[in-house]
Structure 1
Amino acid sequence: MTAKIIGLTEWFATAPGQYLLAWEREQFDLAVADLFGFNALQLGLPELDALQANRMPHRWLALPEVPVFANDASTQQPTPRVALVTNAAALPFPEGSLDLVVLPHTLEFSADPHHVLREVERVLVPEGRVVISGFNPASLWGFRQARGRLVGASQLYLPEAGDFIGPWRLRDWLRLLSFELESDRFGCYRPAMHSEKWLNRYAWLDRAGARWWPIFGAVYFVVAVKRVRGMRLLGPAWKPQRAATAAPVSVANRH
């Protein structure tokens, strides 16, 4: 396959795209299943329902444009979500109103990813969580993509657009915005191949890579918590204060 890959949607229809989507779907399900609250938001990537395992009553899917879904069952959304068209850098939510925000490949395909992350920090409640996935430049897929940019667009393996953000760079951004890293992991260790047949032949590398070279997975997955400095939870004053006892007064001798 040497055809020029135009965008993220077209790439996720390929064999490596489906392989990556399956891994990310499992990670999102594990990460959001036990997160409680009222409001959750997914920014971008309608091909993946990252909130399907979450039980919050209000879940939104924010898109830069109105999505168009195919008729086959593989692209239908299994969980109903409220879709809204908005700019990821200017979310229509009040400050401190969301309990969970998921960003599946959102930052690396944004014009100003750092501004998007600041906007996420604004709308999250204290102790709210952000879940992020992205392509890892320090991987076999990342190396092939870098070589393709030097040779020509027809040799690209990953989507043509996008500035892939390394996990180390993302950690620095999160730290600057007072996020605390809760967990991170890597996945998809198979070589950069287009054929589903050859990808399946190297399935054993997923187990070997996770054990021997974990940081070189093609995709990373990060969960971070918004910390508010100086905020402290106060408990009820259950212990009544004792009244101060009067100091003893000496009695003069009558005699």
Structure 2
Amino acid sequence: MAAFAPDIYVTPQVRKLLADEAAVLAPLLARCTGDHGLHLTTTAQAEPPAMPLLGHWATVRVAGAALGGDIRASGLEALPFADEAFGVVLLRHALETTARQDNLLDEAIRVLAPGGMLAITGIHPFGLWSPWVARQSRAPRPRLTWPWWWSQRLVRDEFELSMPRRVGSAWPRVGGASGPGSLVGGGYFLVARKKRPSAVPLRPRMVAVPAPIPGTLASGARRNAREPLS
């Protein structure tokens, strides 16, 4: 009889993959600045990467149609954050467990400030991890999506995008060395920067400015310059 994991994201195999992702993302996001970062994740045990130039993290756990962690809300509605509130938005496997993938990505883009960084990680659907996830998970299973799909979405929204890269070991395991250089890594990540609005050049326009006319004449001043002198 198959042994199902109540949450595959707390298994030793996926925790090892999360650690590999964090080791890769930390230097890539180290120069990001801002007052706050948003960490959308599948498990509260996944800590956001340490970023000394960033003020604070808000961590939101995504599970189907519910959001938990630092907030309690419905995953079918807009995130309860203001527009352009975060300098960094990190989606760590959150698009695999949300009930509405496109809606969550739209919200992540909305709350990201211009010039901010957006990072997405996930389990690659092509490889040995995909059948392991299907075998280990109870319904509803994680929805594994090709990273190029998110790349196309971000390019359409005018992000400056780096190519998706594989990360982690080729098959689910607990130990062993792994890193971003593997072509068959079980996970993937991509990083993109939100472009700032283009500055519209203003065309100068000549405007006639009337010269100020004094209201009174000084004592002894001539009222008409054309009057002949007597």
Fold match (TM-score > 0.5):
yes
Unpaired runs of 5+ residues, structure 1, are 68-82, 149-155, 235-255
Aligned counterpart in structure 1 of residue 51 of structure 2, from 43, 50, 53: 53
Distance 1:92 1:40 in 2: 14
Contact kept in structure 2, 1:39 and 1:58, CA below 8 Å: yes
Distance 2:160 2:48 in 1: 21
CA deviation after TM superposition for structure 1 residue 85, in Å: 2.4
Contact 1:42 1:60 in 2 (8 A): yes
Name the counterpart of 1:119: 107
Residue in 2 that maps onto 1:232: 199
Query: If the length of structure 1 is used for normalisation, what is the TM-score?
Result: 0.66
Q: Which has the larger radius of gyration?
A: 2
**Counterpart residue number, 1:13:** 10
1:92 Cα deviation after fit: 1.6
Gaps of 5+ in 2: 202-230
Code of the residue aligned with 2:48 in structure 1: it is A
Correspondence for 1:85 = 72
- Whether contact under 8 Å (1:40, 1:98) holds in the other structure is yes
Identify the residue that residue 122 of structure 2 maps to in structure 1.
134
The CA RMSD over aligned residues, in Å, is 2.7
Percent of residue pairs identical: 24
Counterpart in 2 of 1:62? 60
Give the equivalent residue in structure 1 for 2:166.
186
Whole-angstrom CA distance in 2 between matches of 1:30 and 1:87:
33
1:221 and 2:219 correspond? no
Shift of 1:158: 5.5
Task: Summarize deviations over 1:142-167 as a string: whole Å, max 9, x none.
Answer: 2444xx5xxxxxxx146752211111
What amino acid is the match of 1:169?
W
Of Structure 1 and Structure 2, which has the larger fraction of its residues in helix? Answer: 1
Q: Is the 8 A contact 1:187 1:210 kept in 2?
A: yes
Q: Displacement, 1:12?
A: 3.3
For residues 147-162 of structure 1, what are the structure 2 equivalents within 5 Å? Answer: 148=134, 156-157=135-136, 160=139, 161-162=141-142
Contact 2:116 / 2:194 at 8 angstroms: preserved in 1?
Answer: yes
The runs of at least 4 consecutive aligned structure 1 residues that moved more than 3 Å come to: 63-67, 86-89, 157-160
Letter in 1 for 2:145: I
Question: TM-score w.r.t. structure 2 length?
Answer: 0.72
Out of 27, 37, 40, the residue aligned to residue 40 of structure 1 is 37
Residues matched between the structures, number: 194
